[in-house]
Amino acid sequence: MSTVPPDLRARVDELRRLIHRYNYEYYVLAQPTVSDAEYDALMLELRQLEARYPELITPDSPTQRIGAPPAEGFATVQHELPMLSLSNVFDEQEFRAWAERVYRLSGRRDIEFVTEPKLDGVAVAILYRNGVYTRGATRGDGYTGEDVTANIRTIRMLPLRLYPPDDVPVPAVLEVRGEVYMRIKDFNDLNRQRGEEGLPLFANPRNAAAGSLRQLDPGITASRPLCFAAWDIGLFDGLPAPATHAGVLDYLRRLSIPVVPEYAVYRTVDEVLVEVRRWLQTREQLEYEADGVVVKVNDRALYDQLGVVGREPRAATAYKFPAIEKTTLVRHVEWSVGRTGKLTPIAILEPVSIGGVMVERASLHNEDEIQRLGVMIGDAVVVQRRGDVIPKVITAIPARRDGDERPIVPPDHCPVCGAHVVRLEGEVDRYCVNPSCPARLKAQIQHFASRGAMDIEGFGEKLSDLFVDLGLIRSLPDIYELDWEQIRQLRGFAEKRIENLREAIERSKDRPLERFIFALGIRHVGERNARLLAEHFGSIDRLAAASLEDLLAIPGFGPTVAQSIYEFFHEPKNVEMIERFRRLGVKVAETAPVARPARGPLAGKTVVLTGKLTTLTRAQAEEALRQVGARVVSSVSKNTDYVFAGQDPGSKYQRAQQLGVTILGEDDLLRMLRESGVSLAEAVPAS
């Protein structure tokens, strides 16, 4: 007989139901209704009750998401219903031909179609028995997959037990089919973190999702930002299944299972093509990788009636986006030198057009990545380009080698200054050891003068290259001691240009401390870390005197970041450089901001910025909003008060429309800042 009091058993059930609901709100809807502290308190209470009464622990409990030990290998799973692949079409003519075959074979013209994004991830089948998560398996070859039950259990947006509304029945067996994927931002953050830790980078979000899902240790999978979206059902026993595909997705949503975003039903081919064009136009703004639009016959009985050709259902196809990957040849490899001295291998390619842009250069990242790819000079390679991201080589094609290929040999000396190159223990990169290397100095100047740093208008790449080549700048402080008489002798430097440049340099002396710290170019210190350092220490002197323990005490600062900062301020040349900046009038301590009462239309409001602002930079807008008591966040939820949209707003704009959040423009932002007591001159600092 159970020793658990009935009221505690009921409380455990209630805790699990609440935690599941809050997970769905947070991870799927991005609309949390409780604070992190409230959520953590519920989890703590559940853990304590389960520790007190171990007989209450069940596999579907939220506390058991990372409860499995590392596996020695993956068992295989036979799919009772095959997981078929899709046919592809690549243009409107091919799509119309596919639709005509559907009309002809069905003998009908009154057919509805469903469109949904073709997520680029890993296809899986997830099994629930009596509403409890039981098994997860990869697609594999469509008939046999790998058992990844413990790993899929760690995906927090996926319910381990179904808690349907009272009017929604659950079948005895429910197989949910969908995609495990990684959002682009999460992928970039993961790669950034791996780079700081000296680990190999993932090639793309799909590669990262696949690698994360196939970890033998579920604890590693749990640490990765994996998402799931359902796009169909397989087994459905004990109840009649929904009659339409859209009905299936609606049904899964009511069970709080995340489904593919923005699916829609259309009645004609022309309507479908309008939707496909919309996806093509907004492709670059998506928060996830999608390589096409899936189009399916909505009527599930007709879908089954149309049957299968080979391993592809006749009633569905994928309208593939134009390629962002192409195959070309590696002519040779150059090594560029960055501001920290890091050498980056750049593949010089046989020119190839990708997405309408001619690509001749692509990053190889570092020599570990070269080894991972196995790429050689002369190889055929696959090159990927997405948006404004620098193209990169994602794989080599050894089968196309003819024997003339040559290995890529990392240099022992800097290709610019000839100094020795070192690769430190535990590092994936090589570095030029010469702090006066012209290539390093040029990159440092460009970073120092950039908008997010000291914001010296007119001091771009061409100017920094010119001044370094002429010997006018030999170190960063030389920017503030330029020989203007010598500059007057240069072609293209009229008096007005010189006057503007001098004024821009003089204005830069009074930037906030966080921007000066960022401008110094300390390894692993981006704008966020620079802001944390400025807020924590308040002056360069206190930061320079900080111990490793002091730095590690800052939330989010790990050993790699702390060590890099500590070493920078204990390098005599850097100490001397900062003293020169001080003597030249550059502000190196934070000025206490004038206390501004939190009043006006923005005080206490949660706001999101999206799109390009024309009057303000993003950093200036965020700072002005913080000054008047607004909370600036990066994602839109039902708790967002305003979304301020500039030019070319992305998915945040669409999300705000879906949630009914108030959307305002840049003029509204400036007006509300003024009403909150910020003058335009304050909101837009001189640059």
* Active centre residues (catalytic): 118
Contacts of 37 (CB under 8 A, 6+ apart): none
Whole-number Cα distances in Å, 461 to 345, 504, 687: 20, 16, 17
Q: What are phi and psi of 420, to 5 degrees?
A: -65, 150
Question: H helices of 171-268, where?
Answer: 184-196, 205-213, 218-222, 245-254
Residue 99 CA: distances (Å) to CA of 176, 308, 407: 27, 15, 49
What is the DSSP pairing of strand 380-384 with strand 325-337? antiparallel
Between the alpha carbon of residue 257 and those of residues 366, 422, 516, 637, the distances in Å are 40, 51, 47, 19
- What would the two tokens of residue 323 be? 């390629």
Where does residue 106 rank: exposed (0-12), middle (13-18), buried (19+ CB within 10 A)? middle
Backbone region of residue 153 per phi and psi (left: phi > 0; alpha: psi in -120 to 50; beta: other values):
alpha
Strand order in the sheet with 631-632: 631-632, 606-610, 642-645, 662-664
Task: With H, G, I as helix, E, B as strand and everything else as coil, classify residue 380.
Answer: strand
Closest CA to 555 of 525, 524, 529: 529
CB 204 within 8 A of CB 394: yes
Instruction: Please state, in angstroms and rounded to a whole number, the distance separating the CA atoms of residues 394 and 204.
Output: 8
Instruction: Characterize the bridge pairing of strands 76-78 and 144-146.
Output: antiparallel
178 SS3 class: strand
Rounded CA-CA distance 45/95 in Å is 55
Structure tokens at 306: 């149309």
**H/E element, 575:** helix 572-583
Question: How far is the first Cα of the chain from the last one, in angstroms, to the nearest whole number?
Answer: 76
**AA letter at 48:** Q
